[in-house]
């Protein structure tokens, strides 16, 4: 079998082939549920040696669940030879919730007589107007969590179908449902509380206030076409080139990111990243109330950002001249699930790239910045998350995360207060919470052998070397082992971390490199000993560095669904891996950057949140011998009012 490239994601035909081979395996129930079917990425050596037209072996990686026995299996299937190479039972784990389980789970809860009786105690008898969010249950030492593969039902009330039911939570009523059998395991009723009444709609057809009338159309046009080239899953834009793929868990993945700094028509593509993705995100809630303390979701590992990706719409999600990529995933029944327009690629104007006014010469030189943006958006229950990788003409590479959607809500007695959330009206509040994102970067700065350096800015003490008290300098430390490289941001020291190649030098004899420039960040407030602290230990450091291991992909573990945390089968993660304190200097490295968004809700976030934005920057630091943006041509003024 030939393919354009070894890293191309599985096609719809390849997914179907893998499913058929799995179903026909004598050791598997043919009715297994397919949690994941994606490319089994080949070894780096195979990728590095590939040239166009080579014949390569294609493999698929599968996770399947036999629901009657609650057994989970991993398979590696050789698509080229049309055979199952390995079938492995993974004991003691529970796969993430699947896309065909949300609706049946909600319906099973709504039809449960005990649940209906609990609603009736609250005066709720029109069960058609009940909505139930199905949450991953987390882990809290409940025996049911070990016995069943659960979801936790959190109910709300609509006044009409399609309105904002988060305005009317049914407080103190929770349901545990076995996803494998769709049977209710337990109803936890902690006593009725009046359901809030104030509406909070945001849909255009339900709003009563008029639209603004002082806004005029804003059109983005590129009459000569776009500046990027797309060849299958490879993208070239000015000096940048890279590949992408898409899978159920991480969604968008970048591969083989490089920058061509060749001159005089000679190509010289220098690698920067081998692979980069949003590897995990966790949303811990800070409300101890019975309806809220279990809200600690691993949105990638317990749901799947790719599985929940939106089909993007021109003019709404994306504006301008757009190139879309579809995402081919699998449904639990084995059918191919194609998410149309899952990934968006476009160019944006980005203000000034550089400028100088030479007053003596009477000359002004200015260049406008343009960036290439590749993105996808996932809806995880009440929240929307947009992930935007931005490529710039000066060699910068940036990840922006955009958070919007609807707040989680709770009800409270009028006249009372809680410090663990913000009131939205006299019956409704939004619990405090945080969002933590972990980006996995398999680095390749000028080659696979890299080191990571921490630089703090230090004030030189007043004395002979600093007689005027104004001097300061950068003090750098090269990390030699994993434990040494577990670090926190420190804005008071202007701290940054550099990924350098100690075997390559720039024109002043220093290692070539890229540095991580932190954006918004925080630390978790979950206490040591809490279950979320055990299960999401990766959140408590902003930087981790590990030697490359193809099996170490997910910082919170391979199977975080109902996982008690490290030390359990297939649920290891960064804290467990790095306990070995492996050497990392001048090695094939993976750099993990963790960023946290602290959300103490405000009235302006209701009923739908204006977008919050956070991220970080990879910035060349000694990678180039001078500004790589000198060759950007001047812009021409073509439009004016």
Alpha carbon of residue 114 to chain centroid: 38
DSSP code for 300: I
- Please identify which of the residues 293, 383, 388, 392 carries the catalytic annotation: 383
d(CA 232, CA 52): 13
- 30-66 burial code (b ≥16 CB/10 A, e <16): eebbbbbbbbbbbebeebeeeeeeeebebbbbbbbbb
- Please identify which of the residues 299, 394, 442, 446 carries the catalytic annotation: 299
Residues 494 and 553: beta-carbon distance below 8 Å: no
Virtual torsion, Cα 162, 171, 526, 545, nearest 10 deg: -30
| 145 membership: H or E segment, kind and range | helix 143-147
Query: Would you give the end-to-end CA distance of the chain in angstroms?
Result: 57
Residues 620 and 511: beta-carbon distance below 8 Å: no
Measure Cα distances from 311 to 225, 303, 340, 342, 383 in Å. Answer: 24, 17, 5, 5, 16
> 561: how many CB neighbours lie within 10 A of its CB?
25
Q: How would you class 626 by CB atoms within 10 Å of its CB: exposed for 0-12, middle for 13-18, buried for 19 or more?
A: exposed
Virtual torsion, Cα 560, 561, 567, 568, nearest 10 deg: -140
Residues 6+ apart with CB under 8 A from 359: none
Virtual torsion, Cα 602, 606, 611, 617, nearest 10 deg: 30
559 classed as catalytic = no
Residues 152 and 294: beta-carbon distance below 8 Å: yes
| 614 membership: H or E segment, kind and range | strand 609-620
Three-class SS state of 105:
helix
d(CA 68, CA 387): 37
Taking only Cα atoms into account, the Rg of the chain, rounded to an integer number of angstroms, comes to: 26
Place of tokens 């981790």: 544
d(CA 228, CA 244): 14
Residues 587 and 512: beta-carbon distance below 8 Å: no
∠ at Cα 60 (55, 62), nearest 5°? 175
Peptide bond preceding 10 in cis form (omega within 30 of 0): no
Bridge partners of 310, per DSSP, are: none
Residues 539 and 446: beta-carbon distance below 8 Å: no
d(CA 78, CA 280): 28
Residues 14 and 60: beta-carbon distance below 8 Å: yes
Question: For residue 447, is it left (φ>0), alpha (ψ between -120 and 50) or beta?
Answer: left
148 classed as catalytic = no
Active site positions, annotated: 299, 383
């Amino acid at each position: 079998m030939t393919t354009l490239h070894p890293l191309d994601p599985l096609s719809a035909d390849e997914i179907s082939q893998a499913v058929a081979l799995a179903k026909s395996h004598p050791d598997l129930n043919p009715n297994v549920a397919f949690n994941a079917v994606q490319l089994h990425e080949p070894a780096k050596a195979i990728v590095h040696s590939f040239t166009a037209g080579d014949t390569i072996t294609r493999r698929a990686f599968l996770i399947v669940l036999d629901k009657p026995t609650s057994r989970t299996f991993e398979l590696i299937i050789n698509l080229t030879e049309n055979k199952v190479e390995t079938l492995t039972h993974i004991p003691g784990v529970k796969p993430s919730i699947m896309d065909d389980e949300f609706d049946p789970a909600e319906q099973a809860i709504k039809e449960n007589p005990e649940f209906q009786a609990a609603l009736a105690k609250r005066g709720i008898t029109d069960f058609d107007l009940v909505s139930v969010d199905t949450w991953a249950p987390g882990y809290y030492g409940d025996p049911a969590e070990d016995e069943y593969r659960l979801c936790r039902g959190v109910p709300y009330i609509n006044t009409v179908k399609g309105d904002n039911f988060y305005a009317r939570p049914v407080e103190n009523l929770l349901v545990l449902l076995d996803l494998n059998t769709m049977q209710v395991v337990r109803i936890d009723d902690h006593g009725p509380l009046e359901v809030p009444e104030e509406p909070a709609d945001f849909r255009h057809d339900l709003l009563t206030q008029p639209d603004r009338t002082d806004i005029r159309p804003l059109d983005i046009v590129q009459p000569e076409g776009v500046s990027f080239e797309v060849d299958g899953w490879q993208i070239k834009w000015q000096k940048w080139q890279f590949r992408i793929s898409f899978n159920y868990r991480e969604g968008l993945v970048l591969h083989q990111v490089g920058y061509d700094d060749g001159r005089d028509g000679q190509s010289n593509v220098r690698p920067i990243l081998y692979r980069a993705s949003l590897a995990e995100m966790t949303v811990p809630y800070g409300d101890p109330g019975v309806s809220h303390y279990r809200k600690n979701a691993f949105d990638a590992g317990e749901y799947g950002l790719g599985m929940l990706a939106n089909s993007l719409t021109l003019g709404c999600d994306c504006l301008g001249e757009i190139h879309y990529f579809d995402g081919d995933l699998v449904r639990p029944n084995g059918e191919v699930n194609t998410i149309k327009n899952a990934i968006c690629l476009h160019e944006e104007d980005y203000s000034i790239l550089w400028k100088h006014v030479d007053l003596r010469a009477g000359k002004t030189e200015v260049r406008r910045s343009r960036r290439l943006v590749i993105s996808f958006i996932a809806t995880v229950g009440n929240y929307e998350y947009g992930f935007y990788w931005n490529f710039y003409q000066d060699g910068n590479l940036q990840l922006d995360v955009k958070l919007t959607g609807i707040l989680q809500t709770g009800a409270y007695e009028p006249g009372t207060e809680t410090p663990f959330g913000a009131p939205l009206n006299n019956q409704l509040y939004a619990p405090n919470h945080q969002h933590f994102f972990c980006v996995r970067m398999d680095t390749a700065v000028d080659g696979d052998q890299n080191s990571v350096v921490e630089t703090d800015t230090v004030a030189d003490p007043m004395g002979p070397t600093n007689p005027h008290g104004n001097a300061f300098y950068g003090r750098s430390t090269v990390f030699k082992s994993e434990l040494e490289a577990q670090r926190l941001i420190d804005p008071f020291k202007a701290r940054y971390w550099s990924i350098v190649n100690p075997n390559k030098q720039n024109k002043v004899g220093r290692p070539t490199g890229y540095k991580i420039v932190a954006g918004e960040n925080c630390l978790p407030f979950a206490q040591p000993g809490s279950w979320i602290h055990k299960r999401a230990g990766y959140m408590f450091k902003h930087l981790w560095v590990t030697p490359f291991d193809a099996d170490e992909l997910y910082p919170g573990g391979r199977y975080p669904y109902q996982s008690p945390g490290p030390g359990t089968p297939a649920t290891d993660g960064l804290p467990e891996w790095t306990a070995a304190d492996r050497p990392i200097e001048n090695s094939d490295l993976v750099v993990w950057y963790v960023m946290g968004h602290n959300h103490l809700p405000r009235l302006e976030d209701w009923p739908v949140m204006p977008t919050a934005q956070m991220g970080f920057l990879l910035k060349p630091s000694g990678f180039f011998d001078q500004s790589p943006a000198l060759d950007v041509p001047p812009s021409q003024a073509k439009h004016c009012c």
